[in-house]
């Protein structure tokens, strides 16, 4: 059977997996999924009802982007996107988790924006504050090296890039002026075909 990824075009979590699949040159049937109107087929493979979900060639079915990323990297190790050293690997997972937390807050902020006059100003402020707390941490991290964890990109870079791609889509690119190192790192990564070809569109 062929490998299948259930994804949504704008999902930052699904984008992590799409970039990894492309970088590892793994052929995959991409099934765009309507997450506002979930099909029985989709709910059959994903009882939690969230994208991304990967069904591998042997039928292995995995949801949650981080679990899929780790699975793909362990099963198809070249090129590697998680360090092999135990402590460095933990560090990578840690920054990937920070990136996913950033994505969560950006999505929550967008939901508030969508509510217009019905938005709760306290919730809005809470999500914006979380974003404003995480972005300088990432910007500072990039003062020390070209990528988040050193001289080559890892799953952590892919996750941050995907979160910021979604931030740019929903709220514009002003953050790049405020966080110049992050902005430059973001721009440089867009030279990769895997990154260019997965930019979310409105």
Ligand X SMILES: N[C@@H](CCC(=O)N[C@@H](CS)C(=O)NCC(=O)O)C(=O)O
Positions touching ligand X (CB under 6 A) are 8, 11, 13, 35, 49-52, 64-66, 100
Q: 139 or 169, CB closer to ligand X?
A: 169
Helices 180-189/155-171 angle, 10° precision:
100
Question: Min. distance of Cβ 160 from ligand X in angstroms?
Answer: 13
Q: 11 or 195, CB closer to ligand X?
A: 11
Give the C-alpha separation, 38 to 42, whole Å.
6
Q: 9 or 176, CB closer to ligand X?
A: 9
Question: Min. distance of Cβ 104 from ligand X in angstroms?
Answer: 8
Question: Min. distance of Cβ 180 from ligand X in angstroms?
Answer: 28
In angstroms, how far is the first alpha carbon of the chain from the final one? 33
Beta-carbon contacts of residue 3 (< 8 Å; ≥ 6 apart): 26, 27, 28, 29, 54, 55, 56, 57
Give the C-alpha separation, 174 to 162, whole Å.
17
Q: 53 or 182, CB closer to ligand X?
A: 53
């Amino acid at each position: 059977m062929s490998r299948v990824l259930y994804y949504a075009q704008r999902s930052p979590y699904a984008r992590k997996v799409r970039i990894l699949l492309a970088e590892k040159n793994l052929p995959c049937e991409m099934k765009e999924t309507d997450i506002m109107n979930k099909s029985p087929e989709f709910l059959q493979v994903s009882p939690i009802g969230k994208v991304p979900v990967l069904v591998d060639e042997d039928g292995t079915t995995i949801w949650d982007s981080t679990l899929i990323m780790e699975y793909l990297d362990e099963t198809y190790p070249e090129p590697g996107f998680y360090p092999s050293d135990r402590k460095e690997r933990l560090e990578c997972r840690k920054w990937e988790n920070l990136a996913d937390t950033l994505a969560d807050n950006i999505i929550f902020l967008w939901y508030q924006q969508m509510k217009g006059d019905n938005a709760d100003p306290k919730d809005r402020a809470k999500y914006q504050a979380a974003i404003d707390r995480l972005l300088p941490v990432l910007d500072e991290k990039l003062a020390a090296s070209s990528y988040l964890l050193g001289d080559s990109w890892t799953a952590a870079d892919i996750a941050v890039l995907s979160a910021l791609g979604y931030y740019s889509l929903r709220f514009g690119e002003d953050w790049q002026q405020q966080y110049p190192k992050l902005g430059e790192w973001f721009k440089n990564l867009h030279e990769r075909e895997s990154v260019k070809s997965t930019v979310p569109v409105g």
